[in-house]
Chains A and B, each alone.
Chain A
Amino acid sequence: MKIVSMDVMSTGVIAYYVTIASRKGLFTPIFSGVANRTYADPVPQAVILTAIVIGFSIQALMLVGVMKLAKDNPTLESNEIEKNNTPS
């Protein structure tokens, strides 16, 4: 559950980047015959692509970890897992 909510957070950040990119205009910044259109800023979009990939891979890694943990903690309550695995 926590992992899914983290994904929601990262989606929020991605959406924010896209919003900032489109503040000056909405057109795709591709060279075409029409001059002086209001283009969207390509830089934040390019940057967030990296973040999407990283977020995705982290997501995958964490789910694998959770799958391993699920063997002994089938309910996956993070409080319980924490209690079992924290040294006193």
Chain B
Amino acid sequence: MNIITIIWATLPFFLGFTIYLIPKLDRYLALLGTVVSFAYALILFIQRSPITLELVDNFGVTLAIDELSGYFILTNALVTAAAILYCWRSDKSAFFYTQAIIVHGSVNAAFACTDFISLYVALEVSGIAAFLLVAYPRTDRSIWVALRYLFISNTAMLFYLIGAVLVYQANNSFTYVGLRQAPPEALALIFVGLLVKGGVFVSGLWLPLTHSESDTPVSALLSGVVVKAGVYPMVRCALIVGEIDPIVRSFGVATAFLGVIFALFENDTKRVLASSTISQLGWILAAPLYGGYYALAHGLAKSALFLTAGNLPSRSLKELQNKPIRTSTWIVLVLGSLSISGLPLLTGFGAKTLTMKHLLPWQEIAMNIAVVGTATVYAKFIFLPHGEGKKPKPGFWAAIVLLLGWLFTANVLYPQAYTVKDIGKALVTIAGGWLLYWLIFKRTALKLPRVLEEFDHLIGVMSLVAVLLFWMAFSWLGISY
């Protein structure tokens, strides 16, 4: 099993270089990489025993893979495969597939490692490859958006590096466990890096612009998996070092709220989806132990939605009210939206129920409001007119069948959710959300200012979050020297 793990971790990078050597085989090789990850995730589910690997003494790389990372790896494999299938008949060059599979590999690595330096390398590699993917169309706008993304993530990772060395100083090792003995500033600095990278809370406000301005398959990839590479380590840290758990949970609640508010007042389809990604990331953090299942549900639904949004006749929701969408495309849009809203029979329901059951009492009210908010946000998509419309791009259906198929299949992983009480609750909240939509949000045209999304402010907010985190770490944890 250890050997399989190492092969699995290195294969995507190897494939990436091979694609460049044999450009004719690009999409087949890229797809092969995702298939291997998929098989590996299935093995993890069947085996059910965590794997831990420690290479070269306690200074070296440590890997720990269990069911939780299995969910994340499965998400990664499915979403990347869908993005590749979507591009199958487009004229994307081998370069695109190389970057896609390298993103896949580095995100996989982030899901497997448990020491800060391997994580740093994985995150930076995913950042660079994502930068190249966003800048792929070579227009001025895409280059600017990509530069902005790389600049912000790199600055955040510098903070992270300082935190990592503080952990090392306290423990003579870079493993996550060392966070317990490390001074509070180490925790604050590392978490600033991860919060920014994962697009969580106010430090994640770079996300709507980046995700909405990228190419369709790239936004699916970014929203579906790349941000989760920043979220997963936080979940893992909260599980390994129990003291951090309340910090992670409170960020989860705050993020779920913030994202919903941004999404409610948005009028552009892709920006609504991107803002909702922020809120869904909050859900993953709200109950760390069960975040994996939620990440799977969200990754599948969100990438399906992004792929659909790329095939709508217009990006503005206002215009879409008057331009009918092709009925078959509309059905996909509705299924994705319903899954995120948490309708029974779709994976989103199981994931929401599971997360809800493991919330702490103080989180419950806030999260229930967030559920209603999410339903309202997605009502915007569900109540769009449909009829004859433009045909989706070739490759769209292959990707969608894969994603939606799993959206139904993944229900098997948590059948206990189907009790009368939970189904009733889900239906009531969705109905409540739709009611809110019809009564209030369909009529309002309020627009939130985008001051916080300006480049300078993003960097400024990063340091404010650092101060906040330091205070949290200092006063809540009482970690002593």
**B128 and A58 within 8 A (CB):** yes
* Contact flag A54-B158 (CB < 8 Å), given A43-B59, A65-B146: no
- B469 proximal to A (CB < 8 A): no
**Chain B interface size range:** 35 or more
> Mind listing 15 A-B residue pairs with CB under 8 Å?
A6-B151, A6-B154, A9-B155, A17-B165, A20-B169, A43-B59, A50-B121, A51-B120, A54-B121, A58-B150, A65-B147, A69-B140, A69-B147, A72-B140, A85-B145
Which residues of chain B are near A72, meaning CB under 8 Å?
Answer: 140
**A13 and B169 within 8 A (CB):** no
- A47 proximal to B (CB < 8 A): yes
- B243 proximal to A (CB < 8 A): no
Which positions 120-159 of chain B face chain A at CB distance < 8 Å? 120-121, 124-125, 127-128, 131-132, 135, 138, 140-141, 143-148, 150-151, 154-155, 158
Which residues of chain B are near A2, meaning CB under 8 Å?
Answer: 151
Which residues of chain B are near A61, meaning CB under 8 Å?
Answer: 128, 131-132, 150
- A86 proximal to B (CB < 8 A): yes
The B contact surface, by secondary structure, is helix
Question: B144 is contacted by which of A9, A57, A82 (Cβ under 8 Å)?
Answer: A82
| Complex CA distance for A44 and B209, rounded to whole angstroms | 36
**A13 and B128 within 8 A (CB):** no
**A10 and B143 within 8 A (CB):** no
| Complex CA distance for A65 and B209, rounded to whole angstroms | 18
- Interface residues as binary, A44-76 with B (CB distance below 8 Å gives 1, 0 otherwise): 100100110011011001100110110010000
Chain B residue nearest to A2 in the complex (CB): B151
Question: Residue among A54, A57, A81 with the most chain B CB within 10 A?
Answer: A54
- Chain A positions within 8 Å of B, measured between CB atoms, are 2-3, 6, 9-10, 13, 16-17, 20, 43-44, 47, 50-51, 54-55, 57-58, 61-62, 65-66, 68-69, 72, 78, 81-82, 84-87
| Complex CA distance for A51 and B151, rounded to whole angstroms | 15
- Chain B positions within 8 Å of A, measured between CB atoms, are 59, 117, 120-121, 124-125, 127-128, 131-132, 135, 138, 140-141, 143-148, 150-151, 154-155, 158, 161-162, 165, 168-169, 172, 174, 209, 213, 268, 454-456
| Complex CA distance for A47 and B164, rounded to whole angstroms | 10
| Complex CA distance for A47 and B162, rounded to whole angstroms | 12
Shortest B338–chain A CB gap in Å is: 28
Which residues of chain B are near A55, meaning CB under 8 Å?
Answer: 154
Which residues of chain A are near B138, meaning CB under 8 Å?
Answer: 68
| Complex CA distance for A70 and B144, rounded to whole angstroms | 11
Which residues of chain B are near A6, meaning CB under 8 Å?
Answer: 151, 154-155, 158
* Contact flag A16-B147 (CB < 8 Å), given A6-B155, A54-B124, A68-B138: no
Chain A residue nearest to B454 in the complex (CB): A82
| Complex CA distance for A87 and B143, rounded to whole angstroms | 14
**B158 and A13 within 8 A (CB):** yes
Chain A residue nearest to B59 in the complex (CB): A43
Question: A47 is contacted by which of B117, B124, B131, B158 (Cβ under 8 Å)?
Answer: B117
Chain B residue nearest to A10 in the complex (CB): B158
What 9 A-B pairs come out closest when comparing CB atoms?
A85-B144, A85-B141, A65-B147, A54-B124, A43-B59, A65-B143, A13-B161, A13-B158, A47-B117
